[in-house]
Chain A
């Protein structure tokens, strides 16, 4: 069974840092691109970042560029999101999602990041 499990969320003060992880299983992780998508409370979906299968290509949403860093470790079947200089508006559930056929499938269950003093 294809599975994605996020971890690392929590409460952090504005200006702080947090590192999210996504553990993948049930598929050949090194063959797929991966993404982070977030959803603020009561709001819609916002794509955050993309990384190709070999890490050679990376994209960020303008809202997080220069503050967030996506990375992966294919040997560990893991995806990461390093989040620095966090702001109130970064409060959201963060999902990792596999890139497949130009869409996102499947998604993890999400991890909640709360930025508040």
Chain B
């Protein structure tokens, strides 16, 4: 079973700054199978990035994904107030079918 470890656990930044979130896999993951989600309090998760680097429909271009193998990154180029939330990476596999990282909380500094 592949384990996804996200870092940092909490990231404190100000609007306008750049955010870099990390997701490390315990084994190599196909880039096609790595996604990122955003979850705001009281809301369901929303898909941001799929295939490691493709933005989902309607996602602003300040969000970008990169990486391969065991190291993946979600970057938010210039933080907007609405970007402060919890972010999860997710890997599609065989069994379990979907594995999530533990999440990174992006909070306002």
In the complex the two chains form, what is the Cα distance from A117 to B87 in whole Å? Answer: 33
CB pair B45 A101 closer than 8 Å = no
A115 within 8 A of B: no
CB-CB under 8 A for A103 and B97, given A44-B102, A44-B103: no
A-side interface mostly: strand
B50 within 8 A of A: yes
Q: Per-residue 0/1 for A73-86: is the Cβ within 8 Å of any B Cβ (1 yes, 0 no)?
A: 00000000000000
CB-CB under 8 A for A59 and B96, given A103-B47, A103-B50, A107-B46: yes
B51 within 8 A of A: yes
In the complex the two chains form, what is the Cα distance from A50 to B95 in whole Å? Answer: 10
A-B residue pair count with CB separations less than 8 angstroms: 62
CB pair A107 B102 closer than 8 Å = no
Give the size of the chain B interface in residues (CB under 8 angstroms).
25
- A: contact size bracket: 20 to 34
Set of chain A residues within 8 Å of B50, measured between Cβ atoms: 101-103, 105
CB pair A45 B88 closer than 8 Å = yes
Q: Per-residue 0/1 for A91-108: is the Cβ within 8 Å of any B Cβ (1 yes, 0 no)?
A: 000010000011111111
Q: Which residue in B33, B51, B100 is a CB contact (below 8 Å) of A45?
A: B100
Set of chain B residues within 8 Å of A46, measured between Cβ atoms: 100
CB pair B45 A103 closer than 8 Å = no
List residues of chain A with CB under 8 Å of any chain B CB. Answer: 35, 37, 44-47, 50, 59, 61-62, 95, 101-110
List residues of chain B with CB under 8 Å of any chain A CB. Answer: 32-33, 35, 37, 39, 43-47, 50-51, 56, 88, 90, 92, 95-103
